[in-house]
Amino acid sequence: MCGIVAYVGPKDAAPILLEGLARLEHRGYDSAGLVVSNKGLKMRKVKGRVGDLAAVVPARFKGTLGIGHTRWATHGAPSDANAHPHLSTDERVAVVHNGVIENADELRAKLEADGAVFVSETDTEVLAHLIARTVEESDSLEEAVRTALKRIVGTYGIAVIDARRPGEVVVARNGSPIVLGIGEKEMFAASDVAALVRYTRQVVHLEDGELAVLRADGFTTFGGDARETAKEPLTVDWEAGHYDTGGYEHYLLKEISEQPETVARTLRGRLDDRFHIAHLGGLNMDARESRSFRRVKIIGCGSAYYSGQIGAQLIEELARIPADAEPASEFRYRSPVVEPDTLYVAISQSGETYDTLAAVQELKRKGGRVLGIVNTVGSAIARECDGGVYLHAGPEVSVASTKAFTSTAVAFALLALHLGRVRDLSPADGRRICEGLRRLPRQIEEILALEPQIKELADKYADAASMMFVGRVRGYPVAREGAQKLKEISYVHAEAYPASELKHGPLALIGPETPTVAIVPDDELLDKNLTTLGEIRARGGRVLMVGHRTADPKLADDCVVVPRNEIELDPILLTIPLQLLAYHAAVALGRDVDKPRNLAKSVTVE
């Protein structure tokens, strides 16, 4: 959940590190720091944002090798002392680290007994002292790092430099991503390709347990057994311009506005007009294999989990296969029964979400067939899975997911269509869904044109201390995602419930001070949804209805009317107004929209 950048080459490292950290600030932004090597190690670090760090780095901060870090706190509150990098007592070794060292307290006690002096509360400082004590007895920094890591229990993505070895950086990963960037007589490393694309598009992803030594003229990778491994570089499609705001006030608004294009990219080349089926070559399954599954289990975290609930509904409706979604963080700890005739689908925008990655690894260990739906080519989950679907939504910088969420729901529609057509979904229904999918980009544009109206509604409801979101069946995961968006970027407390569950408890919370956002598609449950609105209004509750028709003023105070698609695909469109509602509520309340408090973009710790 933090950001790492490393550089070795002929140029001054500090500007490159600062630029890379700025690109990674969505991964962590409570403190930042960097260190360069030039006749010893020179370090600057601060509590605060990367801009605060840049302000304290002198113009002449020379060094052609260095490492940098932007932090999301796990051990120790944000402070100058707890910011990375961390140095050994002799200031010879510097380390930056993502992840959690679970046996840090035990190691710290032993090191302190041996005379090590700690200056921070972090688990990471343990690594700096361990490596420093090992490096004197080792033939190389690589060997010292490997020896120290054998004593570590937990997850890590690290970059290490040694003042006496000014020509090399050692990086390693176990559960937290590290990507190498190959330049022209220079090398880079980072926790995300966002930090690299300005300088190179040739990258190498480290696997768990791998270690790499970077020098200006190249790199060498090693497996856990210390043997060299062969790595083929990939060319990433994303460019530096993809990480700019593009004239929008916030990345979040830019990414919401990009959804007509990103949905079109997710669909491109995947719809077959002859057989009315979805072509998903990345599944690595023929029709017979696709027909062999009797159940689908979807796992993800946060918004990915809610998109999985939409996906489960689509698969059950179109393919008539029992399907459900579950938080990956719970799935991996409840000793799940892994059935041979169940298809498992793992969702992650970054492809590095640790809880989801660990669940995939557990499934693979037990022989499960796992597909991945991810946005990042070459990511850990994409590599671990048997096959899957890339979203092609482009980089998502804002912490709150919008375009990746929508593209994931579209990918599930494609998967459901594919599974349905190799089973019992008729050609006529296949054609109907294909045509509905093709209408989505234009209809999203129509919804985005409602932004002025939705902004007015956001201003109206932003002063609520708490809000309720309700929906039935297809509308329930939409309500859950809407509540998630509002709470994570505006800090307004929001709860989501199935509309049918209100009278079983939550109705006690309804009153004039607690508005309700009701998801009311024009489907077979319309009358039941309208009855729920009547129950809320009878108790003095304010109602904002999002649906396909204008509401009776007796049932709703306000409404947002969205275009209709096929009833199975309507949840995708009903999500868009809730994104805009949350965004404008956050702006009205003066929140840091792209970097909400306590959160980070890619959750690579438990």
Q: Which residues pair with 372 in a beta bridge?
A: 346, 388
C-alpha span between 520 and 558 (Å, rounded): 13
The CA-based diameter of the chain, rounded to the nearest angstrom, is 79
59: DSSP letter: S
2 is catalytic: yes
Catalytic residue among 254, 403, 485, 601: 601
Q: List, edge to edge, every strand of the sheet that includes 493-498.
A: 493-498, 466-471, 516-520, 543-547, 558-561
How many other CB atoms sit within 10 Å of the CB of residue 112? 12
Asked whether 466 and 495 are in contact (CB, 8 A), the reply is yes
Query: Strand pairing of 369-374 and 387-390?
Result: parallel
Can you give the three-state secondary structure of 432-480, one letter per residue?
HHHHHHHHHHHHHHHHHCCHHHHHHHHHHHCCCCEEEEEECCCHHHHHH
Scan for tokens 């060292």, then name that residue: 101
In order, the DSSP letters of 513-565 are TB-EEEEE-SSTTHHHHHHHHHHHHHTT--EEEEESSPPPTTT-SEEEE----
Scan for tokens 């985005």, then name that residue: 448
How many other CB atoms sit within 10 Å of the CB of residue 307? 31
Query: Strand pairing of 466-471 and 493-498?
Result: parallel
C-alpha span between 561 and 521 (Å, rounded): 10
> What are the residues whose beta carbons fall under 8 Å from the beta carbon of 402, sequence distance 6 or more?
252, 255, 256, 259, 396, 485, 579
Can you give the three-state secondary structure of 328-382, one letter per residue?
HHHHCCCCCCCCCCEEEEEEECCCCCHHHHHHHHHHHHCCCEEEEEECCCCCHHH
Catalytic residue among 2, 301, 385, 434: 2
What H or E segment, with its residue span, contains residue 396? none
> What are the residues whose beta carbons fall under 8 Å from the beta carbon of 427, sequence distance 6 or more?
275, 276, 421
Tokens (6 digits) for 452: 């002025």
1: DSSP letter: -
C-alpha span between 588 and 23 (Å, rounded): 26
What H or E segment, with its residue span, contains residue 271? strand 271-272
For CA atoms 412, 418, 424, 425, give the dihedral sign: positive
Scan for tokens 């968006």, then name that residue: 485
Among 81, 84, 105, 83, which residue's Cα sits nearest to residue 95? 84
C-alpha span between 75 and 127 (Å, rounded): 14
Task: Examine residue 260 and say whether the peptide bond preceding it is cis (omega within 30 degrees of 0).
Answer: no
601 is catalytic: yes
Residues forming the active site: 2, 601
